Chain A
Amino acid sequence: MRREEDIAGKLDWVAVLLYIAMVGLGWLNIFAAVYDESVNQTIWDLSLNSGRQLIFIAASFVIILAIVVIDMRFYETFAYLFFGIILIVLILVPFIGKEVGGNKAWLGFGSFGVQPSEFAKVITAMAVAKFIGSVGFRMDNIRNQLILFSIIGAPMLLILLQKDTGTALVFTSFVLVFYREGFPPFLLVVGIFAAIIFVLTLLVPNQIYLHAAIAIVLVALIVFGKKKLRQVMLLAIGALLISGVIESVDYVITDVLKPHQQNRIKALINPDADPLGFGWNVTQSKIAIGSGGFTGKGFLEGTQTKFDFVPEQSTDFIFCTIGEEHGWIGSFLVIGLFVALLLRVIFISERQKSRFARAYGYSVASIFFFHFAVNIGMTIGLFPVIGIPLPFFSYGGSSLWGFTILLFVLLKLDAHRSQMLQRV
């Protein structure tokens, strides 16, 4: 008894309260998204997403209780074992899974289905943390780097095979963890730079201008920089590489990406080109959010979301309901909650004494951040449409449970941080 009281006292209540606030608001918004005033419905109605979400929330509390009760060493100890199991499950899903929305990403248990990929995020976070936390780990070791990329690469690849690109992309967020743990920023910078070049290529109609701009920057750097041969050579090679990327974008867009993925990128750049076709989601989502104004239309008063103009409005596009019914103020509150939670998770991570706990904490922060940035970014047209949920807000048991486990395992580790051996 005494020990459990201790746990309750040591849990980070700021994070718990943020969690409860987000889950509660999420539930209300799911009701608003599916609400149909012509039918006499209540938020408790089990035939609605909101009613089912309430069950998922209740189950989450059971999960939280279990996490709190289970020994904190459990996760680190069995991280590789879980990782092995989840890889096997991911391999099997395409064969034994049931098909939902064109993807075989679900495992069915009766009428319920779970998405193993949601749990793969949690387990991968543990595995990554365990490897980083292991004795003698050094980030500047090429072998260690390769192993880390393999750990995130394996589940990513398997999920890509299930054609769930969105979830697979989430695994790239672990790069942030590596960065915090000492990975040279070079790769990050190159990655971000490539992304910028990629988008610029799409935005600028004629690629000649981009090449010209690169040439001018190159000349400027050579003229004003150190005029050592090595330096000049490096710059020239870099410039050539960038030009190569630009040339390859067209190839990637037309030959590598699938038509629906191409369309999502095109929609991002010019959603008005075909507002009823590939731009439909983005257009309708922006209309819904944009029509909310400063204070919103009021709870259950949103015409766009209520009448199904926005697709997938209780799952991936749940932010539309918030934006439409609660306006900029509501959006501010939700974004504020996310920023607060992310900063809190970073804060918690930093106060960990074990490298495992800190790396795990950063994994949680990275995954949440990726979901938050990409999901809201796509609903307001800053990012291509990638089907990933908004943590704690989107409808769905698997994702809610996945995020809950992610967060509360960290809180459990945090509660016992003084018992941890310092291994930094």
Chain B
Amino acid sequence: MNESRKEILQIVVVLVGIIFLIKLFSIQVLDSRYAEMADSNAILRQVEYPFRGLIYDRNHKLIVYNTPEYDIEVIVKDIKKFDSLKFCEVFEISSDQLRTKFKEMKARKEYSPFKPTLFIDQLSNMDFARVQDRMDEFPGFYIQARTTRAYSSTALANALGYVSEINKTQLANDKSRIYKQGDYIGQSGIEAFYEAQLRGKRGIRFKLRDVKGIEKGSFNEGKYDTLSVPGQNLITGIDIDLQLYGEYLMKGKSGSIVALEPATGEILSLVSGPSYDPTLLTGKNYSANFRLINSDTLKPLFNRPLMAQYRPGSIFKIAQAMTALQENVITPETRIRCDRSIINCHGAHSNEDLRGAIANSCNPYFYNVLRRMLNQDVSHDPYEDTRIGLSEWNKHITSFGFGSPLGIDLPSEKSGLIPTPAYYDRAYHNRPWKFSNIYSIAIGEGENLVVPIQMANFAATIANRGYYFIPHLVKAVGEDGNPLPKYTERHYTSINSSHFEVAVDAMQKVVEAGTGQYRARLADIIVCGKTGTVENAPPMHDHSVFIAFAPKDNPKIAVSVYVEDAGQGARAAASIASLMIEKYLLGQTKRPYIEQYVLNNKFE
């Protein structure tokens, strides 16, 4: 009697089966969201940070290397049963800090609860050892390994620069879109200049993981993984022993030492005093240390060899001499009376030729030379004549690399200043000016400004008898690489190379018999040098300046030394320059008394 009910039940069974199949078709075939959710569930996209390139000195001694460092990242949606008390205890932070960390993280623009986000950066090795075993108590939190910079010594901090997390402005300006929030980038020095070579390429690994976040091998046998490519190593021209010695000599002083190899333009040492320990700007305490170093009144972050601009002082007389010889306004035999009526002088001399005038740093001589140079009677108007002369003069002087950045492989290089007629027009508010207004540039005072690296380059140019290579730190990118192309070009000055022999002779005379003789002279090596004493605003003492190269024939090293507030160039600067030469050429000094003099004298 109820036979028909059989059919109703059969229909219900088939209907349920069809409903299930339709629903399954919709979530399995039509809706791709579930597949994506499954991937983000089970597949962890892990960034593999590349090793940053290493930095070596010229003798393949390691200067900068990498040391592992561990960040804690979090995928917020994976957090389960979070025990904040335990977390604080394991990571040794206060609950306030924890709260701030969450707040900071969530405030970031690119924050997503589904993506790994930086939570705690840079655990030390010790922290890592403690935390590592307990990570499984905090599902959702992961350790991300990467490397931080480490240094074989405290030397060269300013030239090396530092690496830190990319900041917002940099990220916004990164058109290549290589960088991501939390990435590290070279912020100054070599690290910044050679960022593209050093950084390498990030790798991405897709890893399978289970519901507890425990890794279960690679996804699809690593078919989609990309390996990280380590950055290129840099071989610098730095002699790290010489660098350390230079920093040792500059201890307690402000100023700079630049040593170059004249034949290549490679920088042998680049000392900026005072300096800092580069290790301070790595790791967890970067921010605190940076604030500290940055607010130091002695400005340890100010890279003096490149950024400090001084008046050149008497050293400039050599450049004046070269210019005058080239313009045929004097010959090496031209004698000029040391008339101290307009401009004062020092030492006992009265009527020197060019070599003697350089050796004795005769001020009236070069006053006279510049007047001949600027006023060559091309025009009868003394104002116009000076303009024409100054233009010529400027052309020659700037051909030595003065007045504009040399193009060294570090950021923030200053240009210095070599006045042009236009400059004086501005300075005199378009009122007329002539030689008598501007003569103090004759002896390297007045408006001239130079940078220590330019002075070292000047010494190297004289050592090369008329040309230079742009000074550079890195002599090879990659193990068998080359320097950047622009560092292999010779730059000739506008001065005939035959004129340089006069300068070389004169500089030899400076050390053997002139102003620099006592402290710069070496027993076995002919040192050519020139002192400078740069006026400083009282009550400060003058800056002590010295440039030199050695040996006279086939020179191996050219040096410029600036010691601020240290008086005559013949004292601190000449001593340091000669010690650097000795150290480089002989390995050590034979004159410990000079070393002691440099280290212990207060130069007041």
Contacts and interface: CB of A to CB of B under 8 A. Distances in A.
B20 A289 contact: no
Interface in B3-47: 5-6, 9-10, 12-14, 16-17, 19-21, 23-25, 27-29, 31, 33-35, 37-39, 41-43
Contacts of A328: 21, 24-25, 28-29
Contacts of B216: 36-38, 306-307
Interface in A319-350: 323-324, 327-328, 331-332, 335-336, 338-339, 342-343, 346, 350
B37 A287 contact: yes
B23 A308 contact: no
Interface stretch (B204-212, B283-291, B445-453): B204-212
A166 interface: no
A284 B13 CA distance: 27
A304 B209 contact: no
B28 A376 contact: no
Interface stretch (A6-14, A113-121, A173-181): A173-181
Contacts of B13: 339, 342-343, 346, 369
Contacts, number: 122
A28 to B, nearest CB: 20
A380 interface: yes
A365 B16 CA distance: 14
Interface string A245-289: 000000000000000000000000000000010000000101111
Contacts of A290: 27-28, 31, 33-35, 37-38
Given A179-B5, A309-B211, A331-B28, A291 B217 contact: no
B2 A180 contact: yes
A155 interface: no
B10 A304 contact: no
Contacts of B80: 276
A179 B3 CA distance: 11
Contacts of A373: 16
A176 to B, nearest CB: 6
Interface residues of B, number: 39
A304 B17 contact: no
B486 interface: no
A129 B31 CA distance: 45
A309 B38 CA distance: 9
B20 A291 contact: no
Contact of B37 (A176, A291, A346): A291
B29 to A, nearest CB: 5
A182 interface: yes
A103 B319 CA distance: 98
B24 A380 contact: yes
B480 to A, nearest CB: 43
Nearest to B17: A339
Nearest to A291: B38
Contact of A323 (B10, B12, B28): B28
B34 A331 contact: no
Contacts of B23: 380-382
Given A303-B42, A331-B28, A365-B9, A309 B210 contact: yes
B523 interface: no
A331 B39 CA distance: 21
A94 interface: no
Contacts of A342: 13
- Between B6, B12, B28, the greatest number of chain A beta carbons within 10 A of the residue's beta carbon is seen for B28
B178 interface: no
A382 B41 contact: no
A153 interface: no
B28 A289 contact: yes
A193 interface: no
Contact of A308 (B5, B17, B28, B211): B211
A306 B208 CA distance: 10
A238 interface: no
Contact of A304 (B27, B33, B38, B217): B38
A315 to B, nearest CB: 16
Contacts of B2: 180-182
B1 interface: yes
B77 interface: yes
A350 B6 contact: yes
Given A176-B9, A309-B211, A380-B23, A287 B41 contact: yes
Interface string A361-401: 01001000100110011001110000000000000000000
A277 B485 CA distance: 62
B20 to A, nearest CB: 5
Interface string B206-224: 0011111000110000000
Nearest to A350: B6
A346 B8 CA distance: 11
Nearest to B3: A350
B5 A335 contact: no
- Between A307, A308, A323, the greatest number of chain B beta carbons within 10 A of the residue's beta carbon is seen for A307
B77 to A, nearest CB: 7
B41 A309 contact: yes
Contacts of A284: 41
Contacts of A381: 23, 27
A335 B20 contact: yes
A293 interface: yes
A354 to B, nearest CB: 16
Contacts of A209: none
Contacts of B28: 289-290, 292-294, 323, 327-328, 331
Contacts of B12: 369
B403 to A, nearest CB: 66
Given A307-B208, A307-B211, A377 B20 contact: yes
B21 A304 contact: no
Given A180-B2, A180-B6, A328-B29, A323 B24 contact: yes
Contact of A182 (B1, B43, B211): B1
Nearest to A294: B29
B29 A180 contact: no
B35 to A, nearest CB: 4
A95 to B, nearest CB: 34
Given A176-B9, A308-B210, A346-B6, A291 B29 contact: no
Contacts of A287: 34, 37-38, 41
Contacts of A324: 38
Contacts of A332: 21, 24
A74 B524 CA distance: 122
A376 B212 CA distance: 26
Contacts of A180: 2, 5-6, 9
Contacts of B9: 176, 179-180, 346, 362, 365
- Between B5, B24, B210, the greatest number of chain A beta carbons within 10 A of the residue's beta carbon is seen for B24
Contacts of A179: 5, 9
A336 B216 CA distance: 35
A150 B439 CA distance: 123
A271 to B, nearest CB: 12
B346 to A, nearest CB: 84
Given A380-B23, A380-B24, A304 B41 contact: yes
Nearest to A372: B16
Nearest to A309: B211
Nearest to B42: A303
Contacts of B16: 369, 372-373
Interface string B562-581: 00000000000000000000
Give 6 closest A-B pairs by Cβ, nearest first. Answer: A290-B34, A291-B38, A307-B210, A303-B42, A290-B27, A339-B17
Given A291-B38, A304-B38, 13 more contacts: A179-B9, A286-B34, A287-B38, A288-B38, A290-B31, A293-B29, A294-B29, A304-B42, A307-B208, A308-B212, A369-B13, A373-B16, A380-B24
28 contacts: A37-B217, A180-B2, A180-B6, A180-B9, A286-B27, A290-B31, A290-B35, A291-B35, A291-B38, A292-B28, A293-B29, A303-B42, A303-B43, A303-B208, A304-B41, A304-B42, A306-B210, A306-B216, A327-B28, A332-B21, A332-B24, A335-B17, A336-B17, A369-B12, A369-B13, A380-B23, A380-B24, A382-B19
